[in-house]
Structure 1
Amino acid sequence: MEIFITLIAGVLFTTATYLILSKTLLRIIIGLSLFSHGVHLMLMAINGLKKGAAPLLGQGATSYTDPIPQGLILTSIVISFALTAFALVLGYRSYQELGTDDMEKLRGRDDE
């Protein structure tokens, strides 16, 4: 199962890298979002599939699962959602002000 999740994360990393290197701002934002999803899957794959009881005190289980990786992934999901929302608002506002989402035109080059 970990190998399958790692392969999916690799596909997400590859697609995100392609989108980040494009010229339009919306594709760059989608690429950053896909890259963060790839990181979440990679964190799950690194943790591995653990079987055991919930880490609660007072139960008679012999093995417990570690809640730290799930907490880190949840925190990373919240941070990446906030970053994506901020980038989308920034991209929309720049499109409203400048009328384009082309990165070459946003840089202010007079070559074209």
Structure 2
Amino acid sequence: MADVQLIILFTSMALVVIGLYSAIFVDNIIKKIIGISFIEEGANLFIVAIGYRPGGVVPILMPGMDTSWFATNAAYPLPFGLVLTSIVIGASTLAVMLALVMVIYRRYGTLSTKVMLADTSKQEEYNE
């Protein structure tokens, strides 16, 4: 069962690396946002991997359960609570980022960062 946890850790590392590459080196703003989302999901997957317990049970103490058995077999609830909160916050920030992309596209007519930066430098030359 430790192999499953190791696979999850490598997958989360791959998601973070792909997301960093996309956020830093890709020109399109939408693709940068997708890369940031990959980083977030990689971090969430890493936290879930930390909370994983092979053969674990849901951390809800039911009536009639032996507390010592429950304490040794229950999964860790804190990482799952943190991931659930992170998913809600991530969905909200993703919506705000995409709304900002719509405003940027209306202003510049493109989603390319190179074109926008070139347009900004031209505007600064006109202001001088």
TM-score band w.r.t. shorter chain: 0.7 to 0.9
Q: Which amino acid aligns with 1:35?
A: I
Aligned position for 2:112: 102
Aligned position for 2:19: 16
**TM-score, with length taken from structure 2:** 0.76
1:97 CA drift (Å): 2.0
Aligned position for 1:25: 29
Aligned position for 2:39: 35
Considering only CA atoms, is the larger Rg found in Structure 1 or Structure 2? 2
Q: Which amino acid aligns with 2:49?
A: A
- State whether structure 2 residue 59 is matched by structure 1 residue 54: yes
Please give the secondary structure, in 1, of the residue aligned with 2:114: helix
Please give the secondary structure, in 2, of the residue aligned with 1:109: helix
Does the 8 Å contact 1:20/1:32 carry over to 2?
yes
Task: Report Cα offsets for 1:63-112 as digits up to 9, x if no partner.
Answer: 233321111000001111111111111111210122011112333123xx
Q: Root-mean-square deviation (CA), in Å?
A: 1.7
> Which runs of structure 1 show a deviation greater than 6 angstroms over 4 or more consecutive aligned residues?
none
Q: Which amino acid aligns with 1:79?
A: I
Q: What are the residue-to-residue correspondences of 1:64-83 with 2, within 5 Å?
A: 64-83=74-93
Give percent identity, aligned residues only. Answer: 25
Does the 8 Å contact 2:52/2:76 carry over to 1?
no
- 5+ long unaligned stretches in structure 1: none
CA distance in structure 2 between the partners assigned to 1:65 and 1:101 by the alignment: 44
CA distance in structure 2 between the partners assigned to 1:53 and 1:30 by the alignment: 32
CA distance in structure 2 between the partners assigned to 1:8 and 1:53 by the alignment: 24
- 5+ long unaligned stretches in structure 2: 123-128
**TM-score, with length taken from structure 1:** 0.86
Aligned position for 1:4: 7
**Cα distance 1:7–1:65, how it changes in 2: closer, same or farther (>3 A)?**
closer
- State whether structure 2 residue 57 is matched by structure 1 residue 45: no
